[in-house]
Amino acid sequence: MAAADIDALDRDDPLAGLRDRFVLPEGLIYLDGNSLGPAPREVAGDLAGVVTQEWSNDLIASWNKAHWFELPQTLGTRLAPLIGAAGDEVLVCDGVSVNLYKCLHAALALRPERHVVVAEQAGFPTDLYILDGLGAQRTDLSLRLEGRDGDRLEDLIDEQVAVVLVNHVDYKTAALRDMAALTARAHEAGAIVVWDLCHSAGVIPVELDACEADFAVGCTYKYLNGGPGSPGFIYVARRHHEHLRQPLTGWWGHAEPFAFDSDYRPAPGIKAMLTGTQPILSMRALVAALAACDRVDMAQVRAKSMALTDLFITLVDEHCDGLGLELASPRDAALRGSHVSFAHEGGFAVMQALIACGVVGDFRAPDLLRFGLAPLYIRYRDVADAVEALRDILVSQSWRDPAFSGRSGVT
């Protein structure tokens, strides 16, 4: 594809102006927003104000005056339209792993007579680890895993299944599940579905209510750009609120936290999913970060995401043929999230070499190069430049330099 064609894509991009809402270091092509989104421009100033005014000056009064106490609900209401939910069905709190634990318990409690959980062996490991911990307490449970007990998740679902835990977008391959169809399939068998939206929230128009989803969790530090360790979210369909029971029954989820009763009584509605005091600075950063998605048309975001990932694959086909890359993502954009992955025998070192030339993606064991293409700030030009750098590294074999084989803790 000619350079002029790439330039035309950027020129005609209706989302091009959004890039200015983010701080992106000069000269860096950042293709890792699916792991940690960049800082939205407003966050630093807003957060400084929170520290100097709300914390330093107003101190404890800020729980009321600055509405700190309601942040899980106000942020949930802000986030809700991005995932196709009503404002009172979403809470922002804790982290994904903890929220998953709460949701799985709550989902299981809705099907007390059933004892099987279906999940994916290739799912994000924390999902499986949380299931492992759950299984240690609930010895009546048994696990059926796609990839171990059957090839297709759908085939593992029958009348014995209480809960299906499933990723909307696979963190390695970017394979996208059909939320409406899979939810319907689970409901047909009487099972409850818990969706993990970590790799779709903020980048794919999710329609939880329209799909009649039951529960969902997701994170805000990936495509929602909330910052390192920003809190996760929980969705619970309104029809389940009345029977909501979760295991981490802390005081923030109490009907009257400031009554300081010695007996636990759950708050009505989704608030029952709260546990304890929340990371207010992170939540305030998220308020500013979500403003970067204000008035953004998710259909346009999805269209650009598909175009960016298509372009990446087309350019790799054109320029990296015979260089040892194998596409690990679906070729059909309709079946793919917003990242693309390629297997390469030297995957880890190739990614290190790319990072050294200013193209930041990440590596996922055993051999995957992963490139996140976030439509709010990535340009078509960035994709072309990244593929050119990748090609140069593979042709010159510069990745074989021993300097690129040393691993740090986070890959």
Ligand X SMILES: *Cc1c(COP(=O)(O)O)cnc(C)c1O
Q: Which residues bind ligand X (CB under 6 A)?
A: 95-97, 124, 126-127, 167, 171, 196, 198-199, 219, 232
Among 21, 304, 370, 391, the one annotated catalytic:
370
2: Cβ contacts below 8 Å, ≥ 6 apart: none
How many CB atoms lie under 10 A from the CB of residue 42? Answer: 17
Q: Which CB, 130 or 290, lies closer to ligand X?
A: 130
Determine whether 124 is an active site residue.
Answer: yes
Rounded Cα distance between 156 and 212, Å, is: 20
Toward ligand X, which CB reaches closer, 219 or 270?
219
Please state, in angstroms and rounded to a whole number, the distance separating the CA atoms of residues 176 and 81.
20
How far is 230 from 201, CA to CA, in rounded Å?
A: 14
Q: Which is nearer to ligand X, 14 or 147 (CB)?
A: 147
Catalytic residue status for 377: no
Give the residue with the Cβ less far from ligand X, 95 or 253. 95
- Residue found by looking up tokens 């000269």 in the block: 27
Residue 370: active-site member: yes
Q: How many CA atoms lie within 13 A of 323 on its CB side?
A: 22
379 is catalytic: no
Where is 351: in which H helix or E strand?
A: helix 347-356
Instruction: For residue 220, give the H/E element and its range.
Output: none
Residue 252 CB, shortest distance to ligand X, in Å, is 18
Of the candidates 170, 196, 214, 382, the residue annotated as catalytic is: 196
The one catalytic residue in 30, 101, 124, 233 is: 124
What's the closest the beta carbon of residue 392 comes to ligand X, in angstroms? 30
C-beta of 218 vs 330, nearer to ligand X: 218
What's the rounded Cα separation, in Å, for the pair 143 and 96? Answer: 20
Minimum CB–partner distance for residue 54 and ligand X (Å): 25
Q: Which residues of 227-237 are buried (b: 16+ CB within 10 A; e: fewer)?
A: beebbbbbbbb
Pseudo-torsion of CA 134, 135, 138, 141, nearest 10°?
A: 130
Q: 261: alpha, beta or left, given left = phi > 0 and alpha = psi -120 to 50?
A: beta
Answer whether 144's CB lies under 8 Å from 156's CB. yes
Q: To the nearest whole angstrom, how small is the minimum distance from the Cβ of residue 96 to ligand X?
A: 3
Distances (CA, A) of 75 to 54, 68, 281: 18, 11, 13
- What's the token pair of residue 151? 């090839």
Q: How far is the CB of 33 from ligand X (least distance, A)?
A: 12
Tokens of 210: 């329209």
Output 50 or 219, the one with its CB closest to ligand X. 219
Q: Is 78 a catalytic residue?
A: no
Nearer to ligand X, 98 or 356 (CB): 98
Supply the minimum distance, in Å, between the C-beta of residue 339 and ligand X.
Answer: 11
Cβ 112 to ligand X shortest distance, Å: 26
Determine contact, residues 282/95, Cβ cutoff 8 Å.
no
Active site residues: 124, 196, 221-222, 370
